[in-house]
Amino acid sequence: MNIFEDQVDQKLEEQGWTVLKRGWPDRLCWRTNQNGKTEVCAIEIKNPATGDQLSPDQIRNHAILNAIGLPVYIVRDHRKALDGSQVRSLVEYQQDLLLKVRQGLPKIEKQLNGFLAAIAARKKVIMKELDEMESRYKERADRLAEKYRNLEQMMMPPLQDTKPAEESPITFEKERPVIPTVVAKWIGHKKLATEEASVEGGE
């Protein structure tokens, strides 16, 4: 597209027109029928071998052309392009798609119900497993608590089972200090010498 065409497009858009550049039919065809009337149509060629589908631009433009009275047909088989068996207007094409969707709804609904049923069954199994797990852990916690309660009772007997300590009848003499043997001998000799000196002095 050259600069002049861009300028024309810009001017048209300024005037409020929407300029469509893509999505036009591949062929514009006309003929004079048996009644002498001129027939005009547009052809959109789609190759089934490549899986070619209508683009959003093509759907839009085909709808505009159909609205102003220019039918647009989709041809998918070149061998039957002129006999009408493979020529369908956009309206017919959309109706066919809608019919296929409606025909497929029961199958889709059945599959969806199957998925929901499978999810519900799985949820039930999971909830059962969680309940069993909770029960097992609760039993373990109860056994552990009972074990520690028994251990506490063994180490700290209840106060009502204890008796006040009785006063012991046994009395102990005051312990004499322990004197080493050498010191004891020295003290003995010293005492003996003192006694002898006292006797001599008395005489």
pLDDT per residue over 14-41, tens digit each?
Answer: 999 989 888 999 999 888 878 888 888 8
* Domains held by the chain: number: 1
pTM: 0.40
pLDDT per residue over 133-178, tens digit each?
Answer: 988 888 888 888 888 888 777 776 555 555 555 555 555 555 555 5
Task: Supply the pLDDT for residue 85.
Answer: 45
CB pairs under 8 A, 24+ apart, for 115-120?
Answer: none
Domain limits at 57?
10-86
Task: Assess if residue 146 is contained within a domain.
Answer: no
Task: Supply the pLDDT for residue 165.
Answer: 56
- CATH number for position 66: 3.40.1350.10
Question: Is-contact 106 88, C-beta < 8 A?
Answer: no
